């Protein structure tokens, strides 16, 4: 791939995790420079996850015995063809039903809220964002010390992205517990006092890198995995606004 924009088929292949490592890295680098395209690809990847969650269980469902009995009662020579047709028909019914259920009112997949990183991030936001006097352990005035300390404890390189373009300033951060050992929490605030948190933890076995969206404890969460670390941006702002901030965070982490 050259410096030109990848075509849509390549972007879809990226969203479906169908590219070789070298090609995937080149597409990821291009997406990092093109936030709108990155948002589109993240949306495709999320849809892929939702479809798999809704449809994969249908593949394991047995055909209704009553349907099989009626097929077997027919002519033996055509039974195999009828069984195949019935299987296809039954799968189509299941897929269509799953599609309708999964798209009612455009709701996010609430099962994602059970992900450990989402639970950790939502709980950390609920506990620390309301704090007035002690929201963080180390303030933004000690930024270098903060990121060095958290990087050492979490076991990966951590930076504190600049979110001024979205109206949020770094307050500071703290060390917290996560589902996989020490975790880092960076807190940001806008002029009205509204806060966002960026939760970072080590993800030993994770391979998913695409943005995923969930709602937990009355807040929205965008999370993803990049190398050995998992990230979750959490706040009470609308999904589209939070996604824009999440893209800026990703770009800051992958210059």
Domain total of the chain: 3
pLDDT digits (tens, 9 = 90+) for 164-207: 999 999 999 999 988 878 999 999 999 999 999 999 998 776 55
Do the domain assignments include residue 91? yes
Domain check: are 118 and 199 in the same one? Answer: yes
**165 and 151 belong to one structural domain:** yes
Give the pLDDT confidence of 129-159 residue by residue, as tens digits: 998 889 999 999 999 999 999 999 998 899 9
pLDDT at 95: 42
Last residue of a domain, one of 56, 74, 93: 56
What single-letter DSSP state applies at residue 7?
P
Question: What is the structure's pLDDT at 186?
Answer: 97
Whether 2 maps to a domain, the answer reads: no
DSSP assignment of 140-164: GGGHHHHHHHHHHHHTS-------G
- 31 and 84, same domain (yes or no): no
Same domain for 122 and 197, yes or no, is yes
What are the strands, taking DSSP E only, across 111-226? Answer: 138-139, 169-178, 181-189, 195-202, 212-216, 219-226
Note whether 179 and 142 are same-domain residues.
yes
Cβ 235 vs Cβ 214: under 8 Å = no
Same domain, 41 and 134: no
Question: Is residue 249 in a domain?
Answer: yes
Look at residue 216 in the predicted model and tell me its pLDDT. 80
Same domain, 119 and 50: no
How many other CB atoms sit within 10 Å of the CB of residue 65?
A: 8
> In terms of domains, do 224 and 115 share one?
yes
Domain enclosing residue 37, as ranges? 8-56
How far CA 168 is from CA of 88, 164, 231, 249, in Å, comes to 52, 5, 18, 12
In this structure, are 152 and 237 located in the same domain? yes
Residue at 1 is within a domain: no
- For residue 225, give the CATH number of its domain: 3.30.200.100
Kindly state whether residues 244 and 125 are assigned to the same domain: yes
**pTM (two decimals):** 0.58
Q: Same domain for 130 and 219?
A: yes
Inside any domain, residue 13: yes
Q: Provide the pLDDT for residue 41.
A: 78
Is residue 3 domain-resident? no
The pLDDT assigned to 178 comes to 85
**pLDDT digits (tens), the chain, 255 positions:** 445 778 777 887 887 778 888 888 888 888 888 877 787 777 677 666 655 555 555 555 565 566 556 555 654 444 555 555 555 554 444 444 443 333 333 345 444 556 788 889 999 999 999 988 899 999 999 999 999 999 999 988 999 999 999 999 999 999 998 887 899 999 999 999 999 999 999 877 655 667 889 888 789 999 998 888 899 999 999 999 999 999 999 989 887
Half-sphere exposure of 89 (CA within 13 A, CB side): 10
Residue 197 resides in a domain? yes
Residue 183 lies in a domain: yes
pLDDT at 52: 57
Instruction: Looking at the structure, tell me whether residues 50 and 117 fall in a common domain.
Output: no
- Cβ-based neighbour number of residue 226 at 10 Å: 16
């Amino acid at each position: 791939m050259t410096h030109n924009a990848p075509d849509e088929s390549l972007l879809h292949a990226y969203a479906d995790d169908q590219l070789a490592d070298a090609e995937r890295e080149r597409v990821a680098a291009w997406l990092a420079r093109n936030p709108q395209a990155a948002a589109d690809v993240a949306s495709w990847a999320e849809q892929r996850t939702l479809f798999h969650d809704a449809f994969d269980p249908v593949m394991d469902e047995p055909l209704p015995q009553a349907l099989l009995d009626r097929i077997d009662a027919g002519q033996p020579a055509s039974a195999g063809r009828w069984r195949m047709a019935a299987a296809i028909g039954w799968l189509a019914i299941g897929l269509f039903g799953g599609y309708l259920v999964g798209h009612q009112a455009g709701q996010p997949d609430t099962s994602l809220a059970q992900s450990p990183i989402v639970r950790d991030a939502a709980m950390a936001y609920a506990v620390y964002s309301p704090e007035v006097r002690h929201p963080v352990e180390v303030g933004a005035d000690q930024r270098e010390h903060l990121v060095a300390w958290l990087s050492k404890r979490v076991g990966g390189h951590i930076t504190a992205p600049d979110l001024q373009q979205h109206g949020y300033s770094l307050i500071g951060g703290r060390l917290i517990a996560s589902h996989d050992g020490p975790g880092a929490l960076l807190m940001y605030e806008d002029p009205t006092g509204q806060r966002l948190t960026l939760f970072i933890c080590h993800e030993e076995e994770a391979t998913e890198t695409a943005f995923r969206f969930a709602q937990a404890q009355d807040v929205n969460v965008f999370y993803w995995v990049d190398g050995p670390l998992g990230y979750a941006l959490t706040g009470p702002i609308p999904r589209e606004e939070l996604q824009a901030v999440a893209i800026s965070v990703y770009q800051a982490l992958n210059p």
